[in-house]
Chains A and B, each alone.
Chain A
Amino acid sequence: MDTSHILKPTATVSYSIFSKLKRFLAAAILADWVLGNAVNVFIQNLNQKGLLGLGSDFQASYMIWGETVWLNILHILILAFTAGLFGFIFGYLSRRISLSDKIIFTTLYVFIRFLFLGLFSVVIDNFFPNYSANFNNLISEAFFAISSSVFNATFVILSYIAMFASSIYFMKSGANVINDPYYTTDKSVNGTLLDIKWYHYFWLFIPISFYSQIILNLIYKIGHTIVTLIQNFKWTTIFGGSDGDKGNALDVAWGGLFFIVLIASLVIYLMDYLRKVLIGETDQHWAVKTLIAIGIGLVVPFLILWFTSLAG
């Protein structure tokens, strides 16, 4: 339906502040704690394999990732991606976003840690005065570490700008998707996300964050295989010469990629099937549905985690 020639509707959704906060929390939890955290865990795993060189005590939640520029740029990209995800989900759930909502909720999202830190410091000052000095010193040191280095301060400021811009930009996209007349998902039943009722997400975060690891692994393995292929390609064979002895690394890379593609395809299929089961598209007894949900949502991730290195 082409509505471009028509004046746009003027109404805004009359959500109460409580409803808006509920949507904010849902979007923040899903984007930051579930999907963003999956990325962080993946980064920490890469670091534990010796790839990032950030030391074994590195945490992905640190404001600064080492002393190298490219890792801090990667950090900013991840933060912007997570903030964009938050913006998209918030826009999608809210359906209509005014400019003031965009600014208010993005600020809340970006600075929520400072808000908690402030509240925490007030609580400590008032109820645990013995620990107050230690706590204040700890924070002072962190502030000093950031403010005393131009490199650190620049990347901290850049990361906040990136988060702001990304979140505000993608809020509109989320609202556009749900308001697209041809997009029918989530329009028939209230309180759904991808047609799945909201309360299912209380347990679905387990398979979502776990399977996200596998998808991230797939992305990494693709990159790894391409680099290995370029690095170990038997150029001499093109000209009919000897093929040397560089076969092993390439075979391992291909093998790894093949395996992860297989598992990732299976995971995507399983998640899609789980969604169908949860939204009632499959015609099964409730007991069977429960078993399938537990199997796909909890047992399979546990088995993969226990017996393979695919999720790490």
Chain B
Amino acid sequence: MGNTYYDIFEISHTATAEEIKLAYRKMALKFHPDRNQDKEFSDSKMKEINFIYSILSNPEKKKWYDSTISFDGTYEEKQNYSYSYNHIFCDELFVTDSKGRHSKLKVGDTIYYLVEIDKSIITWKYKGKEYFDVVVKNIFDPECKDDFAKAVKFDFNKTPLCTAHWGNSEMIIYKEDFESFWISQESYSILDKRKGLFSAILILCLLVLGGYYFYSKFKPTSEQQEFLKSKSELNAKYLEEEKKYYKDEFFATDAEISYILSEYYTVCTKERTKIKRDTDISNIPDKLGLVIGAVSEGEEVTVLLYCSTLDGYKIKYKNLTGWVGASRLENPVCKDENKENE
């Protein structure tokens, strides 16, 4: 709709009570049934004008109404009324709650709304009870709308009972089929699941097709497979020997071996050095590691591995092997054993 009550009355929102009254009279004269040939239209318009006047002439109601719209020229709707209320000017309106109880709403009754940001659903709160219904024009995803209409046997093309304003939104209210709007979560879930199942089957087909595409495109040929297999077997054999060597000779753990293989740790030529001061031995070269023992000042240790990034040495002292910072050792030396062997 895009019109505020002030727009309909063709006045400014700062209009005084006198000006509002004047505008009301002007509108009443304009749309009076005696002056219009289309009686149905003028009746409806008069109801609307009377209703608007009942709001704007009441200071309290006017104050609330003003708080629901902005007057910066854009009429952008304020959406922060999670628990605001509105007025409705339908002749009479029946709503049905989940237990099948009917309530009749009268013209000018105050109805409380809980409006969600997308305005797709409105909770009606009337006389302390809550009613859910769907009354906004753009409620449905077109696909859902059809499903929904089919499920409840409702014709959306029929003439609505009346319209109502909420901020600058327009609501369409259907009277006769109000009960038809009720659909249980269970029924809705069935509709949703039917669609979900269809999507799942579609997705599954796409995945199978995609998988087949990848399989046919990237499947290694038998020669490639043979080559990759022998390559990995050879690698595995070589790796096993290498790992065994590091384990036996340098007391390396599986984790340390992976760093040795990726050249993050250097394998040292087992030079000997002394501990500068009492120090903790850790399980990794970083201070985030856990302490696994301690060595006293002046003790002689063997340097096994070196991590240049963290500047830590793996040492051996009696039966204890672990990492210490470079600053704890006296002139530590690590000659790369692999390079020395070359």
Chain A residues with a Cβ under 8 A of chain B: 1, 3, 5-15, 46, 48-58, 66, 68, 95-96, 98-100, 102-104, 107, 111, 114-115, 117-118, 121, 136-137, 139-141, 143-144, 148, 179, 181, 184, 186-190, 220, 224, 227-228, 231-232, 245-246, 248-249, 252, 256
Asked if B177 is at the interface (CB within 8 A of a chain A CB), the reply is no
Residues of chain A with a CB closer than 8 A to B309's CB: 48
Partner of A6, one of B132, B199, B207: B132
| Closest Cβ neighbor of B229 among chain A residues | A148
Establish whether residues B192 and A56, one from each chain, have CB atoms under 8 Å apart when the complex forms.
no
Establish whether residues B134 and A11, one from each chain, have CB atoms under 8 Å apart when the complex forms.
yes
Quick one: given A7-B182, A114-B214, A231-B290, are A187 and B224 in contact (CB under 8 Å)? no
| Closest Cβ neighbor of A228 among chain B residues | B290
Establish whether residues A8 and B188, one from each chain, have CB atoms under 8 Å apart when the complex forms.
yes
| Closest Cβ neighbor of A57 among chain B residues | B262
Residues of chain B with a CB closer than 8 A to A15's CB: 141
Establish whether residues B286 and A50, one from each chain, have CB atoms under 8 Å apart when the complex forms.
yes
Establish whether residues A53 and B253, one from each chain, have CB atoms under 8 Å apart when the complex forms.
yes
Interface residues of B in 243-269 (CB under 8 A from A): 253-256, 258-259, 261-264
| Closest Cβ neighbor of B134 among chain A residues | A11
Asked if B18 is at the interface (CB within 8 A of a chain A CB), the reply is no
Partner of A187, one of B82, B138, B225, B280: B82
Residues of chain A with a CB closer than 8 A to B118's CB: 13-14, 95-96
| Closest Cβ neighbor of A256 among chain B residues | B287
Considering the chains assembled together, what is the distance between the CA atoms of A9 and B117 in angstroms? 15
Show 11 residue pairs from A and B whose CB-CB distance is below 8 angstroms, ordered by the A residue.
Answer: A3-B123, A10-B148, A14-B138, A49-B310, A51-B284, A56-B264, A114-B214, A143-B218, A188-B79, A228-B290, A246-B294
Secondary structure call for the A interface:
loop
Residues of chain B with a CB closer than 8 A to A68's CB: 254
Considering the chains assembled together, what is the distance between the CA atoms of A308 and B113 in angstroms? 53
Chain B residues with a Cβ under 8 A of chain A: 79-80, 82, 97-98, 114, 116-118, 120-121, 123, 130-132, 134, 138-142, 144, 148, 181-185, 188, 192-193, 195-196, 198-200, 203, 206-207, 210, 213-214, 217-220, 224-225, 228-229, 232, 253-256, 258-259, 261-264, 278, 280, 284-291, 294, 307, 309-310, 323
Considering the chains assembled together, what is the distance between the CA atoms of A188 and B77 in angstroms? 10
**A98 CB to closest chain B CB, in angstroms?**
5
Establish whether residues A53 and B134, one from each chain, have CB atoms under 8 Å apart when the complex forms.
no
| Closest Cβ neighbor of B263 among chain A residues | A56
Summed over the interface, the residue pairs from A and B with CB atoms below 8 Å come to a total of: 191
| Closest Cβ neighbor of B314 among chain A residues | A50
Establish whether residues A118 and B210, one from each chain, have CB atoms under 8 Å apart when the complex forms.
yes
Residues of chain A with a CB closer than 8 A to B307's CB: 50
Establish whether residues A12 and B120, one from each chain, have CB atoms under 8 Å apart when the complex forms.
yes
Max chain B C-beta neighbours (<10 A), residue from A14, A115, A118? A14
Considering the chains assembled together, what is the distance between the CA atoms of A52 and B114 in angstroms? 52
| Closest Cβ neighbor of B199 among chain A residues | A100
Establish whether residues B120 and A55, one from each chain, have CB atoms under 8 Å apart when the complex forms.
no
* A-B complex: 8 closest residue pairs judged by Cβ atoms: A53-B255, A99-B196, A56-B264, A100-B199, A249-B291, A49-B286, A50-B284, A55-B262
Establish whether residues A12 and B141, one from each chain, have CB atoms under 8 Å apart when the complex forms.
yes
Partner of A99, one of B192, B206, B286: B192
Partner of B280, one of A13, A66, A186, A248: A248
Establish whether residues A103 and B203, one from each chain, have CB atoms under 8 Å apart when the complex forms.
yes
Residues of chain A with a CB closer than 8 A to B294's CB: 245-246
| Closest Cβ neighbor of B282 among chain A residues | A249
Establish whether residues B214 and A118, one from each chain, have CB atoms under 8 Å apart when the complex forms.
yes
Establish whether residues B287 and A7, one from each chain, have CB atoms under 8 Å apart when the complex forms.
no
Residues of chain B with a CB closer than 8 A to A231's CB: 290-291
Establish whether residues A10 and B134, one from each chain, have CB atoms under 8 Å apart when the complex forms.
yes
Considering the chains assembled together, what is the distance between the CA atoms of A228 and B294 in angstroms? 14
| Closest Cβ neighbor of B151 among chain A residues | A10
